[in-house]
Structure 1
Amino acid sequence: MVDIRFDGRVAIVTGAGTGLGRSHALGLAKRGAKVVVNDLGVGRDGSGSSSEAAQAVVAEIEAMGGEALAHGCDVADEDGVIDMVTQAIAVWGRVDIVVNNAGILRDKTFAKMDMADFRKVVDVHLIGSANVAHACWPIMREQKYGRIVFTSSASGLYGNFGQSNYGAAKASMMGLMNVLHLEGARDNIRVNTLAPTAATRMTEELLPAEAAELLAPETITPGLLYLVSEDAPSRTILGAGAGSFALTKVYETPGITLMDDENTPETVAAKFAEIAAAEGQEELTDAFSQTKKYALNAAKARGLKLDW
């Protein structure tokens, strides 16, 4: 088994002052990466700001003989992100790895949620992740090398009561990953998503003490390090927690094709069990795969042949 190393690589880790981000930054540094430790130093809800957490992680990295740079921009602020990336280039000349980990929580039921809180959570998670990836994208294209990870959550993939804003933002990571995977492939830019379950300040009130001990952030970072490694996969959603790892995939059933006269809501209702039957389901690799599937199915049902 070959050791995974990051010697000569430069990584940006957002939200790296505490919890998962700190663990990721230290994990990268221990294996040779130079690390930009980004953290605005806000509370769990995004309020306040302080540079202490980021500076503390930089000090930890330097104490182990590594190189690190602190930057306190809000990832939702495009100008701040550009400044962060510009500083990384000025110091080290490249950016190879982006770990989008920064996030906040403003939980309430949808009925009671202020739309400003909905928008703020989406801004930090989705727009923030896009800002950092976008600022690094031309650098990675020119280098012909890049590794980007977005951070999703079971709340986005499966849902969680009281987290409509957070769930929507976290589900969007999959769509962003899917497109950037396709657009980055020719330039050796690989894009993945981590879906972690960890005991951090974001989950401290939700976990019993015994579970929290098992769900330490350090149990997740090995999966993250693989996702940003030289031989990383791409377009992968890796679930991680307590040393457990699994892949999340979206499948589509074979379904049915309804001819013109029978294509009614009543027929859809009557045949819904057949539509939902899982046997023969497959993973589609891009949106056009679905278009092609439906057109071919329709042609076959009509006895037509498509050269596709």
Structure 2
Amino acid sequence: MSRICEGRVVVVTGAGRGLGRAHALAFAAAGAQVVVNDLGVGLDGTPAADSPARRVADEIRAAGGEAIAHGGDVATSTGAGSLVAAAVETYGRLDTLVNNAGFLRDRMLVNLDEDDWDAVVRVHLKGHFLPLKHAAAHWRAEAKAGRTPTARVVNTSSGAGLLGSLGQGNYSAAKAGIVGLTLVAAAELARYGVQVNAIAPAARTRMTERAFAASMAAPDTGFDAMAPENVSPLVVWLGSATSAGVTGRVFEAEGGRITVMEGWRAGPTVDKGARWTPEEAGETALKLLGEAEVPGAVYGG
């Protein structure tokens, strides 16, 4: 087993189940000390009685690794701050932050309540921003003290954030926002020794089990293309020191496939050098669209 994260301290949010659990276990197997964060809520964000973070931390320790559980709400400044503090106070440092926490409240736009919009944007987008903010403040202080870190952040976007997904306006908007946050953080934090990237994973979890059924495992090879564990190797590499020089990028990961996603770039353009009339603008826009690449289809469309 590769130990490319030997001695690193890694925080994973939403690590009680699914992708987050797979990431936490993979980092521990790669030698990291892991802070397993999970609020323990249901699929829609409502409170649940169990503590999945504690179970995953116990699982890591039973396998000979080092881990602690953290049950704070990372979409609050107090919870996010205590998460970073837990890593530093327990292990003396923080090297990698993996933002993964989230849940779904799917509705078509005309049926989407304001509360469902706010709740999903809060946990996904604010739940990325606040841990990143507190971790960045720690790493900035370290850099200013002459201890420039080899720090890594891996954010979790989605194909829904890159292409859109019917019935998921709140989720798609939040996941698109995470890509924008990733690009800004990568540019702002580079001076402090921090690299920031994002993944857009496709895997079978509580949020996607209806879309990705267990029956998708290939019977001839035994390879389950939708297992969340398939995504974790890329996340572990991005969270390690060996990913030096890779920042501000978005990767799609599914089964045995890894894709570098290429975002908005300037395509066909015309500059008149003067103001257009509406008719001229429309005629020109149609001409440019005829020369441009056709965007990918919205999921479910």
TM-score normalised by length of structure 2: 0.88
| One-letter identity of the residue aligned with 1:159 | G
SS of 1:11's equivalent in the other structure is strand
Q: Decide whether the 8 Å contact of 1:73 with 1:80 is kept in 2.
A: yes
Q: Which has the larger radius of gyration?
A: 1
Q: Decide whether the 8 Å contact of 2:3 with 2:31 is kept in 1.
A: no
Which residue is 2:232 aligned to?
Answer: 221
What CA distance in whole angstroms lies between the structure 1 residues aligned with 2:69 and 2:99?
A: 15
Q: Decide whether the 8 Å contact of 2:83 with 2:131 is kept in 1.
A: no
| One-letter identity of the residue aligned with 1:246 | T
CA RMSD of aligned residues (A): 1.6
Give the one of 257, 279, 283 matched to 1:244: 257
Q: Deviations over 1:4-57 (max 9, x none)?
A: 611221111000001100000010000111100000111100011345211111
**1:159 paired to 2:164:** yes
Q: Decide whether the 8 Å contact of 1:256 with 1:274 is kept in 2.
A: no
| One-letter identity of the residue aligned with 1:144 | T
**1:257 paired to 2:271:** yes
Distance 1:246 1:223, change over 3 A: same
Which residue is 1:269 aligned to?
Answer: 282
What CA distance in whole angstroms lies between the structure 1 residues aligned with 2:85 and 2:212?
A: 39
SS of 2:132's equivalent in the other structure is helix
Q: Deviations over 1:171-219 (max 9, x none)?
A: 0011101111111111220000010000011111222433264210011
Between the aligned residues of both structures, percent identity stands at 42
SS of 2:258's equivalent in the other structure is strand
Q: Deviations over 1:264-307 (max 9, x none)?
A: 2222211224434349xxxxxxxxxxxxxxxxxxxxxxxxxxxx
Q: Decide whether the 8 Å contact of 1:184 with 1:190 is kept in 2.
A: yes
Which residue is 2:148 aligned to?
Answer: 144
What CA distance in whole angstroms lies between the structure 1 residues aligned with 2:214 and 2:90?
A: 42
What CA distance in whole angstroms lies between the structure 2 residues aligned with 1:180 and 1:225?
A: 19
Which residue is 1:80 aligned to?
Answer: 79
Shift of 1:253: 0.7
What CA distance in whole angstroms lies between the structure 2 residues aligned with 1:254 and 1:205?
A: 40
Runs of 4+ residues deviating >3 angstroms? none
Q: Decide whether the 8 Å contact of 2:212 with 2:226 is kept in 1.
A: no
Shift of 1:258: 1.5
Q: Which has the higher contact order (CA 8 A, sep 6+)?
A: 2
Q: Decide whether the 8 Å contact of 2:203 with 2:212 is kept in 1.
A: no
What CA distance in whole angstroms lies between the structure 2 residues aligned with 1:173 and 1:51?
A: 28
Which runs of no fewer than 5 residues in structure 1 stay unpaired? Answer: 280-308
Q: How many residues align?
A: 276
Q: Decide whether the 8 Å contact of 1:27 with 1:225 is kept in 2.
A: yes
Which residue is 1:293 aligned to?
Answer: none
Which residue is 1:99 aligned to?
Answer: 98
| One-letter identity of the residue aligned with 1:225 | V
Report the more deviating stretch, 78-87 or 130-139: 78-87
Q: Decide whether the 8 Å contact of 2:99 with 2:156 is kept in 1.
A: yes
Q: Decide whether the 8 Å contact of 2:31 with 2:65 is kept in 1.
A: yes
Shift of 1:248: 1.1
What CA distance in whole angstroms lies between the structure 2 residues aligned with 1:167 and 1:19?
A: 19
